[in-house]
Structure 1
Amino acid sequence: MLSIITLGVIFLAVFAKTSMASTKVQFNTDVLDLKDRSNIDLSQFSRKGFILPGSYTLAININASTLPERVIYFYPSEQDKNETLSCISPEIIPLIGLKEAALSRLKWWHNGECLDFQSLNGVTSRTDLGKSTLFISIPQAYLEYSSPTWDPPARWEEGISGLLFDYNVNAQNVSQKVQGAKSGTNVSGNGTTGANFDAWRFRADWQARHDRRDTGAQSPTRWDWSRFYGYRALRRIGAKLTAGEDYLNSNLFDSFRYTGLNLMSDDNMLPPNLRGYAPEISGVAKNNAKVIISQQGRIIKEVQIPAGPYRIQDLDSAVSGNLDVRVEEQDGEVHQFQVNTATIPYLTRPGQFRYKTTVGKPSDFAHNIEGPLFAAGEFAWGISNGWSLYSGGIGGGDYHALSLGIGRDLLALGALSTDVTTSAAKFAHQETQRGNAWRISYAKRFDQLGSQVTFAGYRFSDSGFRSMGEYVNTFKGETNSGRNKEMYTLSLNQQFESLNLTTYLNYNHQTYWNQDANHRYDFSLSRSVDFAKFKNVNLSLTAYRNKFNQMSDSGMYMSLSLPWGQSGTASYNGSYAKGNTLNNVSYYRRVSDTDSYQINGGIASTGTDLGGYYTHKSTYAQFNTSASYRAGQYQALGLSLQGGATITPQGGALHSASLAGGTRMLVDTEDVAGVPFSGIGHSVKTNQFGKAIIADVSSYYRNSVRINVDKLDDNMEALKSVAQGTFTEGAIGYRRFNVISGEKSMATVRLADGSPPPFGASVFNKKNQETGIINDGGSVYLSGIQPGESMTLRWNDEDQCRINLPQQIPANMSANLSLSCT
């Protein structure tokens, strides 16, 4: 059939009769070897690019960026009634991202309903119905700034309304064999539940824990709603509005918990190259372990890790202040330390104005208001090319503080900022305490040496300085908390490309006026070499030392790893901590995009060690399991499950997720199950309702998601395989994909009177998808055949009759189906 159509098109092109006065093509049907030349519908082929007037669901492609599908109307041109033009309505214009000067020049036609593309020089458009896309080319001079991964605010989408529940559950069972050691099971979890309505995101964070000892003692199950809040993006002013319970987000003042309102310019809305850095947590785990990162009691992240060095780098960039880190190893040891989320110097680009304003009352973890009404505000202004001025203030009750600072871009020498904060606090039955705090920050990126980043910070607070958090603690009766004195922070990450050598150093030192100092440093050194037949052999050394709350902890970790097979790595690891040594060999293999495992065994000072770790990422959740054993000491098993559920009016699905309450995308194949998607994170497949959730979508980035056509079943055909979208924080994006599902077969169609349908008539299924085009004698190659389904035969742009497919489709689809259209 395909050869007949091809020959027909060639002959039509050769013998076409064209008119000099019109672009319309008249086909010479005499050259076709057909029995009934009069029974031919070639109207849709008569003019190049001609589209019948009407409405079409099309994606809109602006240069290289694709906007969501929408209904586009086509009307006859006012200059030439034989030509049709697409109608871009005023509602679509904001999505294009035109500059103000270009917007003022726009002209309209069809009673002001449609954009006249000729009003801007160089703007062109064309429609490809085969790709269901309207392509619009616009000179860059008319458009706001954009990049391959970022769209201007006009194209950001708020997503659709819906409900969500994200969770992260961890369970560990430890059986100790040492006299007096504790054995038992603990289950803990945390996550976010919430709802999206228009631009608002309503969220409730939760955390839970249950412990049971083998002695029969058990602690009561504890479930805490740690935070209730709502937020939305204010695109016009590049800001984020948050209402409810939150932690003070400030570049100048220490963080504390409050209930109230916050309005701040959101750096996440800036292009990627203008955004800041997120904090990271690093260390070494001697055994399989669980890392819990919290702030003032609220768990921010909880994750299980295998033995060895770890770096957690996916924390929210909005997190500020001190973070409490607790590492629970399967052998029962617990390590604790604090990390200060110091950022790069407070610099603002020339002409840019950044601000943060907060009003509310301090509150505690139990949602009780504790403290007076307060207000806080700060700003940063890029006053010239290289200089930045920033200032802020906070006050409430008998406390107030003011801060003033200046930053300087030193060009080749890096960036430097310095500020001073003065405070005054009146405590009950005491005189007013007054003091000052000085801070200096420095950062330098050595691009010529291979993307190295250094950060150094120093802060000194005199004995009379008090933070708002310390003042608030007096309302809780907490008067013995440590008062900060000096803090040193140093971070260095350097690469020596010629040596294939990478170094990393992180150092934090905090002294207090009324308690012992805390400090922590991490150092790592790694090098990649080729040895004999082995390529990319990696050598690494990691050392750490930690002192926190008068408890000291230090250790060293060495490893040698080399590729083993196509997707495996064999390693030797040696560690030393608290006088104990462990020599260990391990094997890691990535089985597929969704599965990986690690097994290890070794000899320790206290016995023989065995362990393993397995990870599986499915469409519905991420599953981790770990096990460890030390002869004569203990045996342990760990499990974790991470995922979520999202429900919307368009449908919903279970899914995996690592960022609780974060942005996601619902993809819809209209009841076609098992369609594989890739592009963001690991691959997922649609459920039995044709729905899947793409989790961990980046906010304010241009995200692309595509059907993996290489893994598509033979009985599926994707008419559209790629979609893009830029979504605001916490949004539930929605994209519909046109997928035909069903068997494929040659068929012969007859009308009620026994005659064949016109040549060129189209067959559509119940989803209005074109499944075939009638050839000579009523033959058609039909796709999407479903038992008992009805299809519609259409010509002259009208539905003519219906084709009822048989209830049972022949097993041998090479046979020709005989179908009637009535």
Structure 2
Amino acid sequence: MPVAVFAARAEAPAGTSLEPATPTLPAMVAPGIVEFSPAFTGSSQSVDVSRFEKGNPVLPGSYNVDLFVNDGRVARKNILFRAIAGGQVAQPCFDYATLVQMGVDTARLDPQVAHAQSTCINIKDVSPDATASMDVGQLRLDVSIPQESLRRQARGYVSPDLWDQGKAAFLLGYNFNAYSLDQSYSGSRTQAGGTAVGIDGSQVQVQGSQYYTPGPGGNYVPSATGDYMLGTHGQYVPVQRGTFVPMQRGGYSSNDINAYLGLNLGINVMGWRIRSQETTQWDQRTGRTQWTNINTTATHDITRWKAQFTVGDGYTQGVVFDTTPFRGITLYSDDRMLPDSQQGYAPVVRGTANTQARVEVRQSGNLLYQTTVAPGAFVINDLYATGYGGDLTVTVFEADGSVHGFLVPYSAVPMLLRPGISRWAITDGQVHNTALRNDKPYFVEGTYQRGINNGLTLYGGAQSTYRNLYHAYLGGAAINTPIGAFALDVTHSNTTFKGATSLSGYSTRVSYSKVIPSAGTTFALASYRYSNGNFLSLSDAVITQDLMASMHTSKLDAVSLMRSKQRLNVTVNQNFGDRYGQLYFNGSRNTYWQGMPSATTYQLGYNNSYRRVSFGITAGRTYTTGPMYNGSHYDNQFGVNLSIPLGGPSSRSAPMLQFSAMHDDVMGDSDRAGVSGTFGKDNQFNYGASASYSDYGNRRSQTTGSGNLGWQAPYASLNGSYSYSNHYQQASVSAAGGAVVHGGGITLAPQLDLNSAIGVIEAPDARGARVSSSGQATVDGRGYAVATNLMPYRMNDVTLDPVGTSIDVELQTTRLQTAPRVGAVVPLKFATLSGRAVLIRATQADGKAIPLGAEVFDAGGQSAGIVGQGGQLFVRTADASGVLDVRWGNDAGKQCRVNYQLPTGAGDRRSGMEIIDAICR
């Protein structure tokens, strides 16, 4: 677009000298004597440029600006500017929602002004000392508001008045996969048929040669009464009953095709979010199609309580008590509704300043926070949470040059909350465990956590079934100390079975976390739990009662669950610096009552990189003891991996060459080499190919080659894979994506998470524009697109990239902001201007150039721009012909009219626009 360039000179009135010592610019240049040189305007005729006399003028109209308040960016949005009587520059109008977004204390406004939705609120209505300054060139509006007129809010605060519940919509997310497998083996194999049921109610379906019962160390072995199988809780449990076919010998072959379709359905209406998860499976061999409803829920926000209300299927929070599946209702606080600086745990910093001082808060040398405080005591209570912590160094820089500081301990465990912050949940429903065959009891659970002060959080909870089956009570405390963060709680349970002896027991849990920044060490979490022999969790009690009913017995000895005795989990990370890599350790140990097998697992790993080459080493051991192993069983694993980029540092899509070698005492050795990468203009295609060799021992080995190809299309994600070995061939295809049914029709999306917020973009005629924040999503032919993964209760920037759109479409808005509620479908309308881009090279009737800076108006009298150098006019029009009025003064001799006619063919479209000549008469 042509750019108008102006030059100015100042002439001194009579009796005035332009000496270098002239003190101020206003004394030097009076508005009435500004003139523009004809050398710049291209004409001897004067041009009325009075609108530029006061610098950078703002004409009435709507401007899409970056809004800054006290030098802090608030939003990018449309602001209306209206002419003021007697004023030369238009002034901004603010509506009530914008004032809220700017952090204005609206309670101080005149009620009639604040709540009149159509009112144009002037910045002076906020405070006589408030100002607004517009930079037209940068499209930046700077607003200065005294602190007393602003709300005191934590950092990251977004007013609930701005939370958008969106519009009514129907949502569909899908995930499809089809899998084909052809197998051929020689020698012996294990074939089983029927159903094995563990005494905890877990089941393993065993059909033909495809499914086997998991045995020790991951082997697949036939089972019989008295043996063990993998239960629903990830532990091996005794088999209660089952039918199995014995070992068969000789070669065999098989082929099968399986297909899976997962559907996530949703309806948004009047603030309610109804969700349902459905799956269907089809197997070629059996010819069966199985439909399953996983869960169905209806949820609504409760803004006043910063909570969610849910009816349907779900899980309890799992923070205080172990999680329990249920069908019923739950009401719980939602931390996402809190500002970022109030989520998680961070200590309150308290100190004293002697002067108007600058305060810095650092962690491991990194500046987390800086502010200016008045003399006297100060409080900083809106630090952002930083993982598991790390002590804070607070430095106070006094105005007199003195410096003093102190240390604030900072370690965190999941139970810790900030002072004054609460977390709670209430659930009332029926235990929803599909493995239960008999009674599914109703229960109620309530939990509460409260941050008392910097170093103490108290929490507790209660569980109880409606009938006198189970009651549990828990109380605990979390403490932040200089040597780390601790949490300790004790749970007491009482279980009463019909006709059986009651069990009363307890369980103690201890958690610890500590970060040592100077050593680069993080004890991410170490937890220990001990339970006596009579302690049962709610899940244990319900399963035991169900099995007793199935076995028609009231004797507890007939039912033996794997009740936990001791459980220890430790995670340690050690960072040696950029050059020396990172070391990590994970370990766990579990023991059980009644002679059930115990298990210990730990893993040690090291990762580093040299230049652009990354490598890692892992080692692990699993140790299990119990009757089924006649003592103990060890399984050792170790491996190495190496990644090498095949391309220069500046390559956007360099392939990655990967090598790995693994050893497992049970599974044998496996070596693999592969390459993976992306290609395409936007890296929308991905690929991978690998070859591997596995040696299982006993003269069994397998060589496998595999490859995969994927496409992140604008409206779906498509993938395909194929692998081949000396024992099998496998192929699969998959597709994932979603659709949103809204007021404008149906819009497809390459991915759709129904539990996050979604934006439906409307940008008429902007087909091909890419949604920058949503992968490969683009605007479709009807002008719609879906923006996914919006953060609920936060300000989200949604941007459109015009690259890919027609040259005849202009995006007048490329960025919008929204603060959606969780699960909302929010409409986002981007203004567009459609029409042919035309550059008109116009001259006056006498052949002279039109003065630079002359204003151009369309047929409706709206300003269409300014004449550039050489009398060039740029316009965008949907009409093949039209009229433009050009004015550089109020006299008739300083106005003319351009009648233009666009060519019907391709015309001269240099730089993607029409270029025509015209005479301004």
Alpha carbons of structure 1 residues 374 and 407: separation in structure 2 relative to 1, 3 Å: same
Could you say which residue in structure 2 is the equivalent of 1:404?
Answer: 475
Q: Which of the numbers 563, 574, 578 marks the counterpart of 1:494? A: 574
Alpha carbons of structure 1 residues 791 and 561: separation in structure 2 relative to 1, 3 Å: farther
Could you say which residue in structure 1 is the equivalent of 2:763?
Answer: 669
Report the Cα offset of residue 580 of structure 1.
2.5
Asked if the contact 1:150/1:702 (under 8 Å) is kept, the reply is no
Report the Cα offset of residue 611 of structure 1.
1.4
Asked if the contact 2:123/2:132 (under 8 Å) is kept, the reply is no
Quote the Cα distance in structure 1 between the aligned partners of 2:319 and 2:336. Answer: 16
Report the Cα offset of residue 524 of structure 1.
4.8
Asked if the contact 2:510/2:528 (under 8 Å) is kept, the reply is yes
Quote the Cα distance in structure 2 between the aligned partners of 1:367 and 1:765. Answer: 76
Quote the Cα distance in structure 2 between the aligned partners of 1:770 and 1:518. Answer: 81
Quote the Cα distance in structure 1 between the aligned partners of 2:810 and 2:88. Answer: 34
Quote the Cα distance in structure 2 between the aligned partners of 1:726 and 1:414. Answer: 37
Asked if the contact 1:452/1:493 (under 8 Å) is kept, the reply is yes
Residues 1:419 and 2:489 are matched in the alignment: yes
Could you say which residue in structure 2 is the equivalent of 1:194?
Answer: 266
SS where residue 268 of structure 1 aligns?
A: helix
- Summarize deviations over 1:734-779 as a string: whole Å, max 9, x none: 434445566533226799xx9999974446799x998654569985
Residue type of the alignment partner of 1:404: G
More displaced stretch, 265-274 vs 562-571: 265-274
Residues 1:817 and 2:889 are matched in the alignment: no
SS where residue 596 of structure 1 aligns?
A: strand
Quote the Cα distance in structure 2 between the aligned partners of 1:652 and 1:546. Answer: 55
Could you say which residue in structure 2 is the equivalent of 1:561?
Answer: 643
Quote the Cα distance in structure 2 between the aligned partners of 1:348 and 1:244. Answer: 29
Report the Cα offset of residue 620 of structure 1.
1.6
Quote the Cα distance in structure 1 between the aligned partners of 2:75 and 2:661. Answer: 53
Residue type of the alignment partner of 2:291: W
Alpha carbons of structure 1 residues 201 and 48: separation in structure 2 relative to 1, 3 Å: farther
Q: Which of the numbers 400, 406, 415 marks the counterpart of 1:346? A: 415
Residue type of the alignment partner of 2:685: D
- Summarize deviations over 1:30-84 as a string: whole Å, max 9, x none: 958688969x78676565565555666767554544446456463636xx56564
Q: Which of the numbers 213, 216, 222 marks the counterpart of 2:290? A: 222
- Summarize deviations over 1:766-815 as a string: whole Å, max 9, x none: 9x998654569985123x4557597987999xxx9997856544154487
Residues 1:630 and 2:725 are matched in the alignment: yes
Residue type of the alignment partner of 2:99: I
Asked if the contact 2:438/2:546 (under 8 Å) is kept, the reply is no
Quote the Cα distance in structure 2 between the aligned partners of 1:554 and 1:379. Answer: 43
Quote the Cα distance in structure 1 between the aligned partners of 2:74 and 2:142. Answer: 9
Alpha carbons of structure 1 residues 459 and 96: separation in structure 2 relative to 1, 3 Å: same
Quote the Cα distance in structure 2 between the aligned partners of 1:416 and 1:522. Answer: 23
SS where residue 790 of structure 2 aligns?
A: coil
Could you say which residue in structure 1 is the equivalent of 2:617?
Answer: 540
SS where residue 667 of structure 1 aligns?
A: strand
Report the Cα offset of residue 585 of structure 1.
1.7
Could you say which residue in structure 2 is the equivalent of 1:177?
Answer: 184
Could you say which residue in structure 1 is the equivalent of 2:276?
Answer: 204
Quote the Cα distance in structure 1 between the aligned partners of 2:484 and 2:422. Answer: 22
SS where residue 420 of structure 1 aligns?
A: strand
Alpha carbons of structure 1 residues 42 and 191: separation in structure 2 relative to 1, 3 Å: farther
Kindly report which structure 2 residues correspond to 1:46-57, keeping only aligned pairs within 5 A, or say none. 48=55, 51=58
Report the Cα offset of residue 660 of structure 1.
4.4
Could you say which residue in structure 2 is the equivalent of 1:239?
Answer: 307
Residues 1:653 and 2:747 are matched in the alignment: yes
Could you say which residue in structure 2 is the equivalent of 1:505?
Answer: 585
Residues 1:732 and 2:838 are matched in the alignment: no
Alpha carbons of structure 1 residues 156 and 409: separation in structure 2 relative to 1, 3 Å: same
Kindly report which structure 2 residues correspond to 1:778-797, keeping only aligned pairs within 5 A, or say none. 779-782=872-875, 784=876, 788=880
Quote the Cα distance in structure 2 between the aligned partners of 1:71 and 1:123. Answer: 17
Asked if the contact 2:309/2:330 (under 8 Å) is kept, the reply is yes
Alpha carbons of structure 1 residues 511 and 771: separation in structure 2 relative to 1, 3 Å: farther
SS where residue 284 of structure 2 aligns?
A: strand
Residue type of the alignment partner of 2:98: I
TM-score (norm 1): 0.76
Could you say which residue in structure 2 is the equivalent of 1:166?
Answer: 173
Asked if the contact 2:533/2:565 (under 8 Å) is kept, the reply is yes
Report the Cα offset of residue 586 of structure 1.
1.6
Alpha carbons of structure 1 residues 771 and 431: separation in structure 2 relative to 1, 3 Å: farther
Alpha carbons of structure 1 residues 609 and 110: separation in structure 2 relative to 1, 3 Å: closer
Q: Which of the numbers 253, 267, 273 marks the counterpart of 2:321? A: 253
Quote the Cα distance in structure 1 between the aligned partners of 2:562 and 2:145. Answer: 60
SS where residue 670 of structure 1 aligns?
A: coil
Residues 1:747 and 2:811 are matched in the alignment: no
- Summarize deviations over 1:532-586 as a string: whole Å, max 9, x none: xx74342333546497998997644322222222312223211233243222222
Report the Cα offset of residue 499 of structure 1.
5.0
- Alpha-carbon RMSD: 4.7
Residue type of the alignment partner of 1:584: R
Kindly report which structure 2 residues correspond to 1:251-650, keeping only aligned pairs within 5 A, or say none. 251-272=319-340, 275=343, 344-364=413-433, 371=440, 373-397=442-466, 398=468, 399-411=470-482, 413-450=483-520, 452-473=522-543, 474=545, 482-497=562-577, 499-513=579-593, 516-517=596-597, 519=599, 521=601, 523-530=603-610, 535-541=612-618, 543=620, 545=622, 555-566=637-648, 567-577=654-664, 578-591=666-679, 593-605=683-695, 606-631=701-726, 633-649=727-743
Specify every segment of 5 or more residues in structure 1 that has no aligned partner in the other structure, as ranges. Answer: 278-342
Quote the Cα distance in structure 1 between the aligned partners of 2:158 and 2:623. Answer: 44
SS where residue 619 of structure 1 aligns?
A: coil
Residue type of the alignment partner of 1:654: L
- Summarize deviations over 1:491-549 as a string: whole Å, max 9, x none: 2333221653223333344444468346474625233343xxx7434233354649799
Could you say which residue in structure 1 is the equivalent of 2:790?
Answer: 697
Report the Cα offset of residue 444 of structure 1.
1.8
Alpha carbons of structure 1 residues 72 and 371: separation in structure 2 relative to 1, 3 Å: farther
Quote the Cα distance in structure 2 between the aligned partners of 1:25 and 1:223. Answer: 82
Alpha carbons of structure 1 residues 237 and 30: separation in structure 2 relative to 1, 3 Å: same
Specify every segment of 5 or more residues in structure 2 that has no aligned partner in the other structure, as ranges. Answer: 14-24, 186-250, 346-411, 552-558, 649-653, 696-700, 890-896
SS where residue 672 of structure 1 aligns?
A: coil
TM-score (norm 2): 0.68
More displaced stretch, 440-449 vs 800-809: 800-809
- Summarize deviations over 1:85-125 as a string: whole Å, max 9, x none: 32323343333334xxx444445897974254464476432
- Summarize deviations over 1:224-279 as a string: whole Å, max 9, x none: 221111223334433222222211113222222223332222223344465459xx
Quote the Cα distance in structure 1 between the aligned partners of 2:111 and 2:343. Answer: 39
Quote the Cα distance in structure 2 between the aligned partners of 1:66 and 1:89. Answer: 15
Residues 1:706 and 2:799 are matched in the alignment: yes
Asked if the contact 1:379/1:391 (under 8 Å) is kept, the reply is yes
Quote the Cα distance in structure 2 between the aligned partners of 1:75 and 1:695. Answer: 40
SS where residue 453 of structure 2 aligns?
A: coil
Q: Larger radius of gyration, structure 1 or 2? A: 2
Asked if the contact 1:41/1:761 (under 8 Å) is kept, the reply is no
SS where residue 497 of structure 1 aligns?
A: coil
Report the Cα offset of residue 162 of structure 1.
2.4
Kindly report which structure 2 residues correspond to 1:111-122, keeping only aligned pairs within 5 A, or say none. 113=119, 114-117=121-124, 119-120=126-127
SS where residue 771 of structure 2 aligns?
A: strand
Asked if the contact 1:793/1:803 (under 8 Å) is kept, the reply is no
Residue type of the alignment partner of 2:907: P
More displaced stretch, 350-359 vs 786-795: 786-795
Asked if the contact 1:702/1:726 (under 8 Å) is kept, the reply is yes
Report the Cα offset of residue 672 of structure 1.
0.9
Asked if the contact 2:123/2:130 (under 8 Å) is kept, the reply is no
